[in-house]
Chain A
């Protein structure tokens, strides 16, 4: 209080002085009053040195056909908005510990140009990168910065090979892998006793990879693929004036004469035909996989474990719902923020070993602490099982046990890993 008193005294002195000097213009003296006290309030809390921590967001603009549903059209800032919320959360904390995080988005459709631009940032001192790029680009980017003080967090690519044979020591992953997604779904279907699967896969490379993950999961958890068909019809443009008339005929025919099955499981990562399947199959069966009942890292209707506030915060900022890519990006930004706050540092040398260590944990609205697998840098996480509008369940399912953590029942486990580089 005495300090405030002194300040008022000072302000008064200034005011008196100002009044003496400009006694001919009392109006001026009046306006000086709030200014003087305002400045006094500012100077009472001198700013400490703020540590600025730049985060590079590398994004490869990959040209993809549009998904079927108007509801699924990707927003221009898909993923980026999640990163921005992560930065905002980091900065709220940062305000208490004198850290400021800055997001620098680098985008390009040409992977070589993208890598060149990121490298320029690295040479300019950037050490922390979060990436939403294709699997080949990720490997190339990691090899380009190999040996430098650079941490890459992959939040986009679900490819298991990036955590296995193509793993890199400086790369960590928040995006769940296809194997994790398939295992999460398989556990739920098996828990539901829907063990006989009719697998329908699309013709694309990614669809084949997810089908592989589903076959692996079926074997792992005791389901059986009783029929397998590839959807080879040309899907065409996502809309025409009409369209449903033909689809209504096409899908029953396509799914006709299958052996008896419990659930149709579809692998169509681009959502180019999968959403045609529910309610149109020859037999009255539920649909799961990439359409119908879906395993995913996030869903805009998740409200458990404090998720409501998180969803609201995102919506207020981005004017839209949070998508899985946004969530994966938020986790990547928060991993960096959490490590920087705990270590009071923004440098690779302090952060990378800590993030890799058993001491690191992330709270990410999944009800449990999330940690990194120390053999390949993959973030362990419960995986929500969702219907189009609601959370249905969360895997791992009860009864699927593990000697260390049940979260490792999802995806490739330590004894099976092909990753040798990460622990070197």
Chain B
């Protein structure tokens, strides 16, 4: 059995004191399996699936509540957002969303929740405590990526067919700027200091880096991999290390994760992972990176310090989203 810090805190503290490196503390990764309607629970120390539980139809985007107690999951084909207990995996409640929710993000204060509803050109703002829609924000065609500035003031949504990053004030819930990027933008993410916004363009094959202060494009990253056609290079997931020095970019059917220097915006290395890699998540200590590989039904695990893929773990069919909880 694995130790659960939350449920037996004394024991948890003892274990924490006994082990020397923080990497040895087990975290838990949760992976949504789009085709199986399940979530795979992975022990990040043993690196194995310890549980698979049923959720709503076509689970995709997955995040943790601020206190870590809730898993918040987009059940796209049920047109709702579901909440599960992150320790017992029991269903708690549903949240209303617009149709076909795909990706979501929480305000840094823990509430409200912002959901991209692909089917009706809206970002829906939901109070997760009251389970109530606060407002809808009109954006471009097929909203998808959701990025939140570290201070919680700016929400960025990408629209896949409009090809824009929409800058939204979380105070007024209105767009105040729109930046055109390459085709089919999928993911938007701020770095931890808030000085860069990264937007991946799946069909365009590029990642655009924007200065959030003036919304000017500061650089565009192209990817070249010998033996891989340009069409197969489709950036989707982006994650940035806590020191803001490296960005990891999932390249879809190119089956690679690129490591990019955030200062020079140059690709330093490509790591071979499973097939059609889409979403990424670091463990809380940045030691490991999990990648969801849709068509090979597995996640690859990257040792961040060594920049090496150390293992792949079989999940359900078409793994899509991933989040890692610090327990």
A residues with CB within 8 A of B: 89, 92-93, 96-97, 306, 308-309, 312-313, 338, 341-342, 361-363, 367-369, 405-407
Contacts and interface: CB of A to CB of B under 8 A. Distances in A.
Interface of B: 99-100, 118-119, 121, 140-142, 159-164, 166, 175, 178, 180, 182-184, 202-205, 229-232, 234, 253
A338 B164 CA distance: 12
A93 B162 CA distance: 5
A369 B183 contact: yes
Contacts of A312: 99-100, 119
B183 A342 contact: no
Nearest to B205: A369
B119 A89 contact: no
16 contacts: A92-B140, A92-B141, A93-B163, A96-B175, A306-B118, A306-B160, A306-B184, A308-B100, A309-B118, A309-B119, A361-B204, A363-B183, A363-B202, A363-B203, A369-B204, A406-B229
Given A96-B140, A306-B184, A363-B161, 10 more contacts: A89-B141, A92-B121, A93-B163, A93-B164, A96-B178, A306-B142, A312-B119, A313-B141, A341-B163, A368-B231
Contacts of A341: 163, 180
Given A362-B183, A369-B204, A96 B164 contact: yes
Contact of B229 (A308, A313, A362, A405): A405
Given A368-B231, A405-B231, A93 B140 contact: yes
Consensus secondary structure, chain A interface: helix
Consensus secondary structure, chain B interface: loop
A71 B204 CA distance: 37
A363 B160 CA distance: 9
A368 B141 contact: no
A96 B183 CA distance: 16
B223 to A, nearest CB: 13
Indicate the member of A308, A362, A367 with the most B CB atoms within 10 Å.
A367
B34 to A, nearest CB: 12
B25 to A, nearest CB: 38
The 3 closest A-B pairs by CB, nearest first: A363-B183, A363-B203, A368-B231
Contact of B161 (A89, A97, A361): A89
Contacts of B205: 369
Nearest to B117: A309
A367 B202 CA distance: 9
Contacts of B231: 368-369, 405-407
Contacts of B162: 89, 92-93, 96
Nearest to B142: A309
Given A92-B121, A308-B100, A369-B204, A363 B163 contact: yes
Nearest to A338: B163
A302 B303 CA distance: 38
Nearest to B252: A367
Nearest to A342: B180
Nearest to B76: A308
B178 A97 contact: yes
Nearest to A406: B229
A254 B76 CA distance: 49
Nearest to B231: A368
A190 to B, nearest CB: 21
A84 B300 CA distance: 43
A363 B234 CA distance: 12
Contacts of B119: 309, 312-313
